[in-house]
Amino acid sequence: MSEAKPRIRVRGLTKIFGDKAGAALPLLAAGQNRAEVQKQTGAVIGLHDVSFDVGEGEILVVMGLSGSGKSTCLRCINRLIEPTSGTVFVDDTDVTALDERALMEFRRTRFGMVFQQFALFPHRTILRNVEYGLEVQGVAAEARRERALAAIETVGLKGWDQHYPSQLSGGMQQRAGLARALALNPDVLLMDEAFSALDPLIRRDMQQELVALQKRLKKTIVFVSHDLDEAIALGGRIVLMKDGRVVQEGTAADFLANPADDYVRRFVEHIDVLGVVTAGDAMRAPAAVKPWQSTAAEALASLVQTGEPVMTVVCHEGRFQGTVDADTLRRAGETELRLLLSDREACVPTSATLNETVAKLAGGRGEIAVIDAERLLRGVIANADLVAALARRRADTAH
């Protein structure tokens, strides 16, 4: 996450269900666990001392098994469930300090909520369902129709606005629910198991579409899920919960490399490593790099010295331009490298998974560049580097 101020800051969030919250708090502070507190007081610990940040434009996945507290945490963020203690800041607003009227206004203008069950009104068309939040806000009919139709088009339901929910598939209904949230143009989307009621294929499609939407719209999203594969598909950071507490926070690759405890280790032991570890994780410093005005003779001498299969070529600003193989260099003499590029697309972004990297390597000449969003060269990766990365992960897991 960037160094910019987080969009959401959750600090010390605690929720105790029951009449004995006051008696339960000091027991928690003394280090007693959920079961011990419940036995002594009858109170149920939903959350205890949960803290995390969410950056602007980030998808943060809060996950855990049933009863871990993940949905309670989400609903405490917008106070659909009142926290017992702790704070939630959205930008500079302390949501936990808002009175009822201010909270209602804040929810209407700053939060969008998408639930597991589609929660569409069966007697309203899709257009009127998507308009509903705008209608509650008092937006004029023509303006709300325009915004609702734009949201419907954004989620890929153009032409379905006059249909009723019963006429749409489950995936289409969930798109309509997402459109209803987007029509309000909220800063923050809260999504509670939003895709778990969908068939697996439709679910994967919706995950991909959410990631694509987020890249375009730059919404800040807190997404609750019990499915690790879904968390990986959505990318970014994961907050893993157990018994109302945060067990570990980080990327899936962080969980693989440095699991906090046996619970985390068991949670991630079946992950497809090739789908989690990135080119940025596995890359190494390039040994054979030349600026594009260098000659073929200079580049060939460098290849012979380093033993690399190809020469990586960059411009004077360090941006990747392509690769040149040894056979081409041998025939080119004093020709400048910029005129000899064999493969201009022999590269992957730092965020590419090893699965994506393998596919790129399979069609190349044994080594490819790893670049950032500006095409600046960050490293290189070859088949041997993939094997080494997998070996390291297996060693970490065994350890």
Residue 395 pLDDT greater than 60, yes or no: no
* 199 pLDDT above the threshold of 90: no
| Average pLDDT over every residue of 202-222 | 87
Instruction: Average the pLDDT over 164-192 and give the result.
Output: 89
Q: What is the pLDDT of residues 118-131, one digit of tens each?
A: 778 999 999 999 99
**Residue 368 half-sphere exposure, CB side, CA atoms within 13 Å?**
27
Mean pLDDT of 340-351: 89
| CA atoms of 8 and 110, how far apart (whole Å) | 12
pLDDT at 2: 42
Mean pLDDT, rounded, for 228-240 = 88
Position 216 confidence tier, pLDDT thresholds 50, 70, 90: confident
- C-beta neighbour count of 142 within 10 angstroms: 8
At residue 328, the 3 state secondary structure works out as helix
pLDDT of residue 393: 59
Give tens-digit pLDDT for 46-99: 999 999 999 998 999 999 988 899 999 999 999 999 999 999 999 999 999 999
d(CA 252, CA 229): 10
> For residue 235, is pLDDT > 70?
yes
Burial class (CB in 10 A: 0-12, 13-18, 19+), 188: buried
Task: Please list the residues that pair with 10 across neighbouring strands.
Answer: 52, 88
| Encoded tokens for 79 | 């106070």
Looking at the predicted structure, is the pLDDT value of residue 390 above 80?
A: no
Cross-strand partners of 246: 241
| pLDDT score of 233 | 85
Task: Between 390 and 368, name the one with better pLDDT.
Answer: 368
Element (H, E) at 296: helix 296-306
What is the pLDDT at residue 225? 92
Q: How far apart are CA 392 and CA 257, in angstroms?
A: 9
Q: For the residues 221-247, what does the mean pLDDT come to?
A: 90
Give the Cβ contact number of residue 121 at 10 Å: 11
Q: Where are the domains of the chain?
A: 280-390
How confident is the model at residue 291, as a pLDDT? 93
Residue 399, pLDDT above cutoff 80: no
Cβ atoms of residues 247 and 77 within 8 Å? no
Question: The sheet that has 85-90: what strands, in order across it?
Answer: 44-54, 8-17, 85-90, 93-94
What is the CA 393 to chain-centroid distance, rounded?
A: 22
Lookup result for tokens 């509650």: 136
pLDDT for 28 beyond 50: yes
Q: Percent of the chain at pLDDT above 70?
A: 95
For residue 201, CA distances in Å to 156, 171, 196, 206, 207 come to 17, 10, 11, 9, 10
| C-alpha span between 184 and 74 (Å, rounded) | 19
Query: What was the pLDDT predicted at 76?
Result: 95
Length, in residues, of the chain: 399
The pLDDT value recorded for residue 1 is 44
pLDDT grade for 163, boundaries at 50, 70 and 90: very high
Q: Which residues pair with 54 in a beta bridge?
A: 8
Judge whether residue 394 has pLDDT over 60: no
| Fold type of domain 280-390 | CBS-domain (3.10.580)
Phi then psi for residue 350, to 5 deg, are -60, -30
Query: So what's the pLDDT on residue 391?
Result: 65
Mean pLDDT of the chain: 87
CA–CA gap between residue 178 and residue 199 (Å, rounded): 17
Tens-place pLDDT, residues 279-309: 888 888 888 899 999 999 999 998 888 888 8
For the CA atoms of 313, 319, 321, 323, what is the dihedral angle to 10 degrees? 40
The rounded Cα 262 to chain-centroid distance in angstroms is: 24
The percentage of residues in the chain with a pLDDT greater than 90, rounded to a whole number, is 44
